Amino acid sequence: MSAPPLINWGAATPDRRGPVVAGLDAGSARNANGTHAAAFGSYQALAVATGGLSEAHRPNLEGTQPRIEIGPFAQWADPRKIVTMDPWGHLVAQVFATERERGLDIRPSIAVAEGRLRLAEIICAIERGRLRPDGQVLLRNGEIRVCKIAIEPVWWLPGLAERLQLTEPDLRQALFRCTDGMYPALLDNPERKVFLPPIGGTSVYLFGDVQRLNDPRTRIACRIHDECSGSDVFGSDLCTCRPYLAYAVEEAVAMAQAGGLGVVAYNRKEGRCLGEVVKLLVYNARMNAGDRAESYFDRTAQVAGLSDMRFQELSVDVLHWLGLERIDRWISMSNLKAQALRNAGIQIIRQIAIPDELIPTNAEVEMSAKRSAGYFSEVVLA
């Protein structure tokens, strides 16, 4: 085992940046707090405890390299632009091959693959004539070709503290306390500046020729979607989450067909990061009190302590990672998300609201509440 390698966050090349070492077998070479797939860290513990998983297991990364090239972009070399993911996370098998051969347990925190999507709403959009299969992006059977990317959170604590206007010790103290002391090294090892937090990550779906990311003239349609499992997966009708997500996919396909690129980022931020139990408690409270738009956000805050913990200022990192400086069609009505992009220097040309006919009847209370809270509600901005 060797001494932990230094991390110079935001250095322009992987050599100078250095690897994040956080594998289960990292030993004394570890330079980050937390573990890979940390949201599942407790399952890893069960697998180790019951003998199914060896802590000494090293992933065999042969053949796992990205199917599609992404980056590097200039934003990767700015330590302030990306603080919640490792921009080199999909390339570690290549760029840190020597270090891995030397015995460091370096693992990817990003994976890039190809696949196809099939959504009922897209089939419907074809039937109604809003989309037409082209054999490239959208196939005749309704399937969509995509590049899909999985991203684990990797937090650069000094940069995260600065983004949130905190001191790094205050951030470390809060992380330590609010995980019930789960990561004592946050306090004991202040020289470890990287933390892989036990939270869900981000999935990104790219529609169209990904190499177009390298041309700043490429027109981009984009949605950053925060998870709502009840609606996204099961079709619950109280909110507009799945209809908006499906509409974003439709816009992304149309942009790809027009020579641009579609980007849909999906963040594991269930119930505005308050969690699904709180979300359903609030549903009950709303129903029992007579569901009214005026009390929508207040009722959430009464149960959870506040109405939103998503910290949209962190959601822009993935756009920086993709090298984006401008979004031509921004598929969102959230004022918080749009402001986060503006603060990050990413220009929004046109903001696109969900068409009225796609809003479920029972979601009207949510829509009214959002509009009265200052959410964007008009179709045309630019």
Query: So which residues are the catalytic ones?
Result: 308, 310
Q: Does 239 bind Zn ion (CB under 5 A)?
A: yes
Shortest distance, CB of residue 232 to Zn ion, whole angstroms?
7
Binding segment for Zn ion among 51-59, 140-148, 202-210, 238-246 (CB under 5 A)?
Answer: 238-246
> Taking each helix axis from N to C terminus, what angle separates 364-372 and 296-304, rounded to the nearest 10 degrees?
90
Omega of the bond prior to 72 within 30 degrees of 0, cis? Answer: yes
Distance, in Å, from the CA atom of 372 to the CA atom of 368, rounded to the nearest integer, reads: 6
Number of CB atoms found within 10 A of residue 285's CB: 15
Shortest distance, CB of residue 240 to Zn ion, whole angstroms?
7
Shortest distance, CB of residue 231 to Zn ion, whole angstroms?
4
Q: Which residues inside 206-235 make contact with Zn ion, applying CB under 5 A?
A: 228, 231
Shortest distance, CB of residue 300 to Zn ion, whole angstroms?
13
Tokens describing residue 202: 């981000």
Q: Does 246 bind Zn ion (CB under 5 A)?
A: no
Distance, in Å, from the CA atom of 108 to the CA atom of 88, rounded to the nearest integer, reads: 8
CB-nearer residue toward Zn ion: 33 or 231: 231
Tell me, by CB under 5 A, how many residues bind Zn ion.
4
Q: Does 196 bind Zn ion (CB under 5 A)?
A: no
**Dihedral of alpha carbons 266, 272, 275, 276, sign:** negative
CB-nearer residue toward Zn ion: 112 or 241: 241
Tokens describing residue 306: 């506040």
Number of CB atoms found within 10 A of residue 37's CB: 16
Q: Does 322 bind Zn ion (CB under 5 A)?
A: no
Shortest distance, CB of residue 346 to Zn ion, whole angstroms?
25
CB-nearer residue toward Zn ion: 64 or 236: 236
Contact 256/296 with Cβ under 8 angstroms? no
CB-nearer residue toward Zn ion: 26 or 331: 331
- Cα–Cα distances (Å) from 126 to 114, 329, 331, 356, in that order, read 23, 21, 20, 19
Contact 265/225 with Cβ under 8 angstroms? yes
CB-nearer residue toward Zn ion: 220 or 367: 367
Q: Figure out which of the listed residues 138, 151, 221, 241 binds Zn ion, where binding follows CB under 5 A.
A: 241
Q: Which residues of this protein are in contact with Zn ion, per CB under 5 A? A: 228, 231, 239, 241
